[in-house]
Structures are given as structure tokens and as C-alpha cells.
Amino acid sequence: MKELQSLSLLFLAIYFVLLVGGIFYTRKSKDSVDYFLGGRKLPFWTISIAFIASWWGAGSAIETADKAYNEGISAFMIYGMPVLFSAFMIYIFSKAIRKIGTITQPQLLEERYGKLAAYLLSVLIFIFMTVSAAGQMVAIGDFFDTFLGINYTWGVIIGTAIVVLYSSVGGFRGVVITDIIQFVFLLITSLLLFGIAYYHSGGWSNIQDIALNNNKTDYNDITSGFSKNVIYVITFGAAWMIQANVWQRISATRTPEDAKKMIGTSFLTFIPLYLMVTLTGMFALGLFDKMPEEGIIMGIITNYMSPVLGALMFIGISSAVMSTMDSLINTGALVLSVDIHKKIKEDKLSSKQLVLSGKISTLIVSLIAIIIGLRIRSILDVSWIAADFIATGAFVPIVLGFLWKKGNHKAAVASMIFGILFPTYNLFISLGIDLPSAWEHGSAQQVLIGMSGSLILYTIVSIFTKSNEAKANQFIRKAELIKSKAS
């Protein structure tokens, strides 16, 4: 184990030098479009890989493999199905998002509704991105702790420091370059883990026999535990469909056609990727009599790989966690810099000041996320908290903004205020505060109440208040998702 840890530290140092070295050789950002969107000059396939890397992170891969070991193929529903649902929905809206041409989601919402709605969305996105980044910090802290024997706190700090350095220096272009490198590492790692798990498992028929002997009768039933797993599909799916870092990548494409190709390519790629990590966990049933204390992935590395190969696996998984973390931090910084700081300064910041603001915002988002990651050590719990805010508060006004001309600024504001208060109330309950609740906490009922409440408020306020149809028509006509009477 000591040899594995020493080699892993050595490879991590080499990897860090190569990563940062590559970023320093990228050209400097001239303005906010350059810093946060790569100047909209990157080919769609590079952004596609960055998009895939940001959603197919090691945190979700590790969690899926562990769940699949215990629950079987239905573990695919926790991360894989929400990703596919989200990607499909984004595919429908991708060209419209790119045609609007804004840098951020709040800018888009301001164009559709007005300034207050844009500010509220900025708050929701900032919360979502910061909390979600904390989830990846939990993953890197736990992984460094288990793999290297580094204290969890220092694992979080070291892993985050690497991400902050290359993210703040290279901006979005740097994130895309490193995401491509990190995706290759994770893909090789996942293929090797899958191959080793399959080889040592005794084959599919042996896994079925073991599952039956252990009374796992629903091991091959993807609908098993549906009432529980559908919560993740609805909440994660709705939240990720409007995830700001995904829209950032759509906005960074050269053309609306590139945006659609990027999402379509990613959708088809996600299917085998998430199936692979699910099957890896299932095949591990033939490798271990019980769940390894350190988890399935770590168990395979330490028990079935040489130190050199294990160290390479460590780099692959670490890089994957970082690829998701950098995406979340970069988008959180984008909102803080462009939608909050710039607005406070009333758009008086120069291009150089905006780039500096972006770098400082990167540090602020990272520091807040570190504090959260050190307090809550559960990837799934952190992901749930983040998704609850964005799904309840932002899904309805954003999606209906493209589809319903009658929807107006007051309706969007009412919907988002509810979307901030309801998840905050649920968060207090999660933290152990004894508050009355008419719904089961963390249930499908809670999700449906939250999103239905947002929809009902949006609809009622839109019907009974005056709408700015000229503004709505202009926005919808620009997006060209549906035909408006003004077109």
C-alpha cells in the first residue's frame, strides 16, 4: 500500500505540472466572452468532451458503482437516467439558447422578463454551483483520504487548490483543455476497471447465481426501487436540464447548429458510459463477499491491480473529479462576476477588470464550497440540496419563458421567491431543525409539491397580471423555438 501511495503522489505531482504548464501556454483572455466562453471559437467536439466530462464525473461514477453492487442495474436510475432525461430536454432547447446569444442564464432571463428575475436567478445559480462544487470536494477529500492516507481536510484543500489554479489562469479555454485531458484519463480508467471486474467476476451467469443466493431477486430489474429512484430522476433531471454550466457550454459554441450537435453527441455517449460504471459495480459482486469499506472502485484498485497501474487509476479518477469541480466553480464565478459584480458596478468595469473579477470570483466560490464540503461529507446529500434549489426555483420560469408568451416578470419573480423559500425550509429540516412538514422529507412528494407550487404560482400570476407581450414576442422570435404572432 505504501508503494501505491508513493507512486500516486509522484504521478499526481507530474500530472499537476503538465496540467498547469499547458494552461500557461494558452493565450490570455482579452474580455469576459474570451474568459468565460473561449471567445466562441472552440470547435463543437472540444466543448462536447468538456460537457461530457462535467456530467460524467468520478463522484457520480464511484457512487453509481457502489449502489450497483448492492442494488443491481436499478442504480443506473440515480445518475444515468437523470443525465439522459436532462440531455434530451436540452437538445430540444439547444439551438434556441445559442440564438439568444447571452453569456449567462441571468442575462437571458433579464432579456425575457427583467432585472429582478435575473438577480434572483443569479442567487439560485450561485447557490447551486457552490453547493454542487462542494459535493465534488467531498469526493476528492474522501478519495485522497482513502487512497493516499491524507487527512480529509487537507485532501479537500489540495484537490481544490489544483483546480483553482488552472481555472483562474486559463478561464473557460483552460477548463476545456483540461477537461479533454481528464476525460481521456477517466475513460481509460473506467474501461480498465470494467475489464478487470468482468474478468475476475466469473462472467454474467455467475453474477446472477450470486445475486440469487444472496436473495437479490431484483438485481436485473431496472424498475426495482422505482418509487425511491424516481425522486432522483425528477429532481436531478429538472435541475441539470437548466444547469448554468451546461448552458455556458451551449453559449460557447460557434453556431446554433454546433450547439445541437454537441448535445446530441453527448446524449449518445452518456448511455454506454453510465452503463459501464453500473455494470462494473454489478460484476464486483463476484469479487467481494461484502462491500469493501473503501468502496468498490478503491477495492478493485488495491486488490486486483499492480501499484503502477493502481497509481494511474488514481490519476484517472482524481482528474475526473476535478473536471466536474472546475466546471461548477467556473460557472459560479461567471455568475458572481458578470451577473452580480458587474451589475453592482452598473456595467462600468473594463475588459481587464472583468477578467480580474472572474479570477477573484473563482477564489470566492472555491472558499465557500470548501467550507460546505468540510461540514457535509455526503456526495448524494449535497447533490440533493443543490438540485432542490435550482429545480424548484428556476425550472418553471426558464422553460416556460421559451414557450408561453403570457408568462411575465411578476410571475417569474413569484415563482423564484417560492423556489428559494421552499428548499430553504427543507434544508433546515435536513439540518435537524424541528419544523412542521406536511410532506415526507426527501421524497417524491416533496419534489412534486415544490415544482408544482412553482408552476401554480407562475401560472396564476401570469393570468391575473398584465404581461409585456412585445418583450415576450421579441424573445421568442429571437429564439425561434416556437412561432409567435409577431414573426
* Residue range 8-25, pLDDT digits in tens: 888 888 877 776 666 565
pLDDT digits (tens, 9 = 90+) for 187-231: 888 899 999 999 999 889 999 999 999 888 889 888 888 877 787
Least confidently predicted of 175-184, 253-262, 288-297: 175-184
Overall average pLDDT of the 178-192 stretch: 81
pLDDT score of 253 more than 60: yes
pLDDT of residue 327: 74
pLDDT score of 296 more than 80: yes
pLDDT of residue 455: 95
Overall average pLDDT of the 257-261 stretch: 88
pLDDT digits (tens, 9 = 90+) for 337-352: 777 766 666 556 666 6
Give the contacts of 169 (CB within 8 A, at least 6 positions apart). 20, 23, 24
pLDDT of residue 40: 64
pLDDT score of 415 more than 60: yes
pLDDT digits (tens, 9 = 90+) for 16-65: 777 666 656 555 555 555 555 555 667 778 888 878 877 776 667 778 89
pLDDT grade, residue 124 (50/70/90)? confident
Name the range with the highest mean pLDDT among 162-176, 332-346, 434-448: 434-448
> How far is 327 from 54, CA to CA, in rounded Å?
6
Average pLDDT along the chain = 81
Overall average pLDDT of the 143-149 stretch: 81
pLDDT score of 180 more than 70: yes
pLDDT score of 468 more than 90: no
pLDDT of residue 383: 75
Overall average pLDDT of the 449-470 stretch: 90
pLDDT score of 487 more than 50: no
Q: What percent of the chain shows pLDDT beyond 70?
A: 85
Name the range with the highest mean pLDDT among 121-135, 223-237, 456-470: 456-470
User: pTM to 2 decimals?
Assistant: 0.72
pLDDT of residue 103: 63
Overall average pLDDT of the 226-239 stretch: 78
pLDDT grade, residue 484 (50/70/90)? very low
pLDDT digits (tens, 9 = 90+) for 370-398: 988 888 777 767 777 787 888 888 889 98
pLDDT grade, residue 485 (50/70/90)? very low
pLDDT digits (tens, 9 = 90+) for 69-99: 999 999 998 888 988 988 998 898 888 888 8
Higher pLDDT, 380 or 254: 254
Overall average pLDDT of the 474-481 stretch: 74
pLDDT score of 430 more than 80: no
pLDDT of residue 486: 40
pLDDT grade, residue 183 (50/70/90)? confident
